[in-house]
Amino acid sequence: MRVLGIETSCDETGIAIYDGELGLMSHQLYSQVKLHADYGGVVPELASRDHVRKIVPLIKAAMAEAHCTPEQIDGVAFTQGPGLVGALLVGASVGRSLAYAWGKPAVGVHHMEGHLLAPMLDEPKPEFPFIALLVSGGHTMMVKVEGIGRYEILGESVDDAAGEAFDKTAKLLGLDYPGGPLLAKLADQGEPGHFQFPRPMTDRPGLDFSFSGLKTFAANTIRDNGNDHQTQANIAYAFQEAVVDTLLIKCRRALEQTGLKRLVIAGGVSANKELRQKLAELMKKQRGQVFYPRTEFCTDNGAMIAYAGYQRLLAGQIEGLSSKAKPRWPLDSLPPV
């Protein structure tokens, strides 16, 4: 089975073709980062309009890259939610219409399921069951995964997502949007031992997260310590260390609690080098395994949607013609495959 995947939930237009036998055949990505940079964040209406401009050319490019004709496509998958409603509607309308015109089934994919399954685009694929730490710009979740669509949410953020905390702290440090990767780069020049950030919610049991306090702590630290380059790098270092440490403590707890030995991390923040390295060390100590998506598939992309859609279409799950975008859509409400 060969599936065209469409991602338009936020500020990236991602298109890909995944084939059950040949694997990923093509993927195209257009990032709107420059469009939103002046505003310091994503402007929903601008995002929708830019998806409209880019989606058809990117579908054509992905089809050409895969040397694929519409007859060779067996189904269309589009991100149905969660995300910005206008942005979602672009992908959903185009995806649903194309499937109708081509006489093929369509399926709506949950964006976070796409992230969660992204490591399966490469070998070795993680075997079920495993613990998944999903860390993106909009969500932070610890999930027990028994199979596709069999998700138990063990914990999530009670306020800001991890990526959001990176972006907001980066903004305080005067970095451009989205600041997560830029803050990580600045942290590379930082020295340890200058600042000590808290590790929120690690002193009590449970697997929920809270990151908004770190941003306030960063604001106060910046205010009290001036803003020469080395101080800023040291603050970035201490902030990143605190986020990574907090995520690490919660992962260790989730593995202990469930007795599982496999860990998957996905979502934009899973591109963070420090996080990947520290989790690799943890899993080595625990004699377990850790899986991440390749770096380009950590942040939003069409490949993960094509893959998740492939799995669901294979299981016969098809979306009706009256399908709607779902800006809010709980991950644990999905049907099992």
Q: Which residues contribute to the site for Zn ion (CB under 5 A)?
A: 136, 300
Site string for ligand KG4, 274-313 (x = CB under 6 A): -------------------------xx-------------
Count of H-run helices and E-run strands, the chain: 10, 10
Reference 31, options 236, 181, 156; nearest CA is 181
* Distance from C-alpha of 335 to C-alpha of 337, rounded to nearest angstrom: 7
Give least dist CB 136 to Zn ion, A.
Answer: 4
* Distance from C-alpha of 147 to C-alpha of 336, rounded to nearest angstrom: 7
Binder of residue 166, out of ligand KG4, Zn ion, none (CB less than 5 to 8 A by kind): ligand KG4
Binder of residue 178, out of ligand KG4, Zn ion, none (CB less than 5 to 8 A by kind): ligand KG4
Q: Where are the beta strands (DSSP E) in 83-236?
A: 106-110, 130-135, 140-147, 150-156
Sheet holding 130-135, edge to edge: 150-156, 140-147, 130-135, 262-266, 289-291
Residue 271 touches ligand KG4, criterion: CB under 6 A: yes
Residue 180 touches ligand KG4, criterion: CB under 6 A: yes
Task: Classify residue 261 by its DSSP letter.
Answer: -
Sheet holding 2-7, edge to edge: 23-31, 12-19, 2-7, 75-81, 106-110
Region from 51-59, 149-157, 222-230, 263-271 binding ligand KG4, contact rule CB under 6 A: 263-271
Give least dist CB 143 to ligand KG4, A.
Answer: 15
Number of shown-chain residues binding ligand KG4 (CB under 6 A):
19
Contact between residue 79 and residue 7 where contact means Cβ atoms under 8 Å apart? yes
Residue 82 touches ligand KG4, criterion: CB under 6 A: no
Which is closer to ligand KG4, CB of 8 or CB of 136? 136
Which is closer to Zn ion, CB of 184 or CB of 235? 184
Residue 267 touches ligand KG4, criterion: CB under 6 A: yes
Residue 163 touches ligand KG4, criterion: CB under 6 A: yes
Q: What residue ranges bind ligand KG4 (CB under 6 A)?
A: 10, 136-138, 163-164, 166-167, 178, 180-181, 184, 267-269, 271-272, 299-300
